[in-house]
Amino acid sequence: METILNKLRKAAPAAALLLTVAAGTALQGCQKTNGNDATGATASALSSDAASQVYVAPGKHDELYSFLSGGFNGQVSVYGLPSGRLLKIIPVFSQHAENGYGYSEESKAMLQTSHGFVPWDDLHHPKLSRSKGMTDGRWLFVNGNNTPRVARIDLTTFETVEIMELPNSAGNHCSPYPTNNNEYVIAGTRFSVPLDMKGGTGDVSLDSYKDTFRGSISFIKVDQEKGDMDLDFQILVPGFDYDLANGGKGPSEDWVFFTTYNSEKAGTLKEVGASQNDKDYLAAVNWKLAAKYAKEGKAREMPANYYHNKMDKGTHTAKSTVKKKVRYLLPEDCPGLMYLLPAPKSPHGIDVDPSGEFMVVSGKLASAIPVFSFSKMQEAIKNKQFDGEKNGIPVLKYESVLAAEVKEPGLGPLHTEFDGKGNAYTSMFVSSEIVKWKLKDFKVVDRIPVYYSVGHLMIPGGDTKEPYGKYLVAMNKITKDRYLPTGPELAHAAQLIDISGEKMKLLLDFPTVAEPHYAQAIKADLVAPKSVKFHKLDENKHAYVAKKESDASVTRQGNVVRVKMTAIRSHMTPDNIEGVQVGDTVYFHVTNLEQDWDVPHGFAIMGANNAETLIMPGATQTLKWVPKKAGVFPFYCTDFCSALHQEMQGYLRVSPK
Which residues in this chain contact ligand CUA in the complex, by CB under 6 A? 567, 601, 637, 639-641, 645, 648
- Answer whether 375's CB lies under 8 Å from 309's CB: no
Is 364 a binding residue for ligand CUK by CB under 6 A? The answer is no
Restricting to residues 558-617, which ones interact with ligand CUK according to CB under 6 A?
none
Which residue's CB is nearer to ligand CUA, number 405 or number 575? 575
In the list ligand CUK, ligand CUA, none, the entry touching 518 (Cβ below 5 to 8 angstroms by class) is ligand CUK
3-class SS at 207? Answer: helix
3-class SS at 104? Answer: coil
Restricting to residues 410-429, which ones interact with ligand CUK according to CB under 6 A?
414-415
Beta-carbon contacts of residue 153 (< 8 Å; ≥ 6 apart): 76, 90, 92, 139, 140, 141, 142, 159, 160, 161
Paired with 256 in beta bridges are 247, 285
Q: How far is the CB of 215 from ligand CUA (least distance, A)?
A: 50
DSSP 265-317: GGS-GGG-SS---SEEEEEEEEHHHHHHHHHTT--EEEEEEEEEEEEETTTTE
Q: Whole-angstrom Cα distance, residue 307 to residue 321?
A: 6
Which residue's CB is nearer to ligand CUK, number 249 or number 456? 456
- Answer whether 597's CB lies under 8 Å from 534's CB: yes
N residues, the chain: 657
In the list ligand CUA, ligand CUK, none, the entry touching 641 (Cβ below 5 to 8 angstroms by class) is ligand CUA
Q: How far is the CB of 641 from ligand CUA (least distance, A)?
A: 3
Q: Which of 74, 188, 455, 467 binds ligand CUK (CB under 6 A)?
A: 455
In the list ligand CUA, ligand CUK, none, the entry touching 414 (Cβ below 5 to 8 angstroms by class) is ligand CUK
Q: Which of 138, 436, 482, 517 binds ligand CUK (CB under 6 A)?
A: 517
In the list ligand CUK, ligand CUA, none, the entry touching 648 (Cβ below 5 to 8 angstroms by class) is ligand CUA
Q: How far is the CB of 270 from ligand CUK (least distance, A)?
A: 27
- Answer whether 189's CB lies under 8 Å from 172's CB: yes
Is 96 a binding residue for ligand CUK by CB under 6 A? The answer is no
Which residue's CB is nearer to ligand CUA, number 519 or number 568? 568
Q: Whole-angstrom Cα distance, residue 151 to residue 90?
A: 12
Which residue's CB is nearer to ligand CUA, number 162 or number 639? 639
Q: Whole-angstrom Cα distance, residue 207 to residue 210?
A: 8
Q: How far is the CB of 612 from ligand CUA (least distance, A)?
A: 11
In the list ligand CUA, ligand CUK, none, the entry touching 214 (Cβ below 5 to 8 angstroms by class) is none
Which residue's CB is nearer to ligand CUK, number 111 or number 414? 414
Which residue's CB is nearer to ligand CUK, number 348 or number 465? 348
- Smallest CA-to-CA distance from 104 within 159, 165, 164 is with 159
Which residue's CB is nearer to ligand CUK, number 142 or number 337? 142
Q: How far is the CB of 647 from ligand CUA (least distance, A)?
A: 9
In the list ligand CUK, ligand CUA, none, the entry touching 455 (Cβ below 5 to 8 angstroms by class) is ligand CUK
- Estimate to the nearest angstrom the gap between the alpha carbon of 264 and the chain centroid: 30
Restricting to residues 108-147, which ones interact with ligand CUK according to CB under 6 A?
124-125
Q: Whole-angstrom Cα distance, residue 142 to residue 119?
A: 15
Q: Whole-angstrom Cα distance, residue 307 to residue 293?
A: 25
* Residue 276: φ, ψ to 5°: -95, -40
Strands (E) located in 380-443 = 386-390, 393-396, 402-407, 413-418, 423-428, 433-438
Q: How far is the CB of 456 from ligand CUK (least distance, A)?
A: 5
Q: How far is the CB of 322 from ligand CUA (least distance, A)?
A: 38
Is 348 a binding residue for ligand CUK by CB under 6 A? The answer is yes
In the list ligand CUA, ligand CUK, none, the entry touching 348 (Cβ below 5 to 8 angstroms by class) is ligand CUK
DSSP 557-614: ETTEEEEEEEEETTEEES-EEEEEETT-EEEEEEEE---STT--EEEEETT-SS--EE
In the list ligand CUA, ligand CUK, none, the entry touching 492 (Cβ below 5 to 8 angstroms by class) is none
Q: How far is the CB of 75 from ligand CUK (least distance, A)?
A: 15
- Dihedral sign, CA of 7, 8, 9, 10? positive
Q: Whole-angstrom Cα distance, residue 18 to residue 23?
A: 8
- Answer whether 102's CB lies under 8 Å from 94's CB: yes
Which residue's CB is nearer to ligand CUK, number 348 or number 562? 348
Q: What are the residues binding ligand CUK (CB under 6 A)? A: 124-125, 173, 244, 348, 414-415, 455-456, 517-518
